[in-house]
Amino acid sequence: MPVRVCDHPLAQHLLGRLRDKTTPPDQYRSYAHALSMILALDATRELPVARFTVETPLTRTLAGQLDQGLAVVPVLRAGLGMLDAFLNLFPDVAVGYIGLERDENTAQARRYYAKLPILDTRFVICLDPMLATGGSASQAIHLLKAHKAATIKMVCVLAAPEGVAKLQSEHPEVEIITASVDESLNDQKYIVPGLGDFGDRLYGTADTPAGLHID
């Protein structure tokens, strides 16, 4: 499945604000929310729509309504920064959570928490802002498949070519929606040029140089 890069001018404007290392956490959260709303609309364009009859003030006419349930599953903790956009747009959405952390000795992601709704009848979106090596995202998608998710989309703010390649190798049917595919990973597996650690910048806990991320 090809990568879908959201090239809407506003999405690229917001991404630029997120890349800027001088953007403070309060503004960062605002920009992240706005960009996530754009990505949410892009990711859900294939949701099925049913027709029904409605009375307008003037006459009867056909209208549309969503015809499939939606489930959104953020990867903790950074994925929480994208969740509210989906909650605002889709008030009936079901929400699950997957907690993954990196083992500094093996560089592999370890799952420490998972809570998922029923997925087999829902359109499922996995949220992980930074698709770097792709290890965390791939693990999350394996878990979603184990819970019988049929249609899965991966939504991230940034992706590295290495992460894209891993998902396309292990989950070729999963479409990736992102605001940018960046240049590469550096020797420490950080996205370049990147935007820093999304979670740390979102919550004001940054203690590493700008540009680093280890998902």
Residues designated catalytic: 102, 106, 197, 200
For 118, half-sphere exposure in the C-beta direction (CA atoms, 13 angstrom radius) is 4
- Cβ neighbors of 64 (< 8 A, separation 6 or more) are 49, 50, 51, 52
What one-character-per-residue DSSP string does 5-26 give? Answer: E---HHHHHHHHHHH-TT--HH
DSSP letter at 182 equals: -
The DSSP bridge partners found for residue 109 are 102
State how far the Cα of 62 lies from the Cα of 11, in Å rounded to an integer.
Answer: 32
Which residue type is seen at 100? Answer: L
Say how many C-beta atoms besides its own lie within 10 A of residue 185's C-beta. Answer: 18
102 backbone dihedrals φ, ψ, rounded to 5°: -85, 130
The answer to whether the CB of 64 falls within 8 A of the CB of 49 is yes
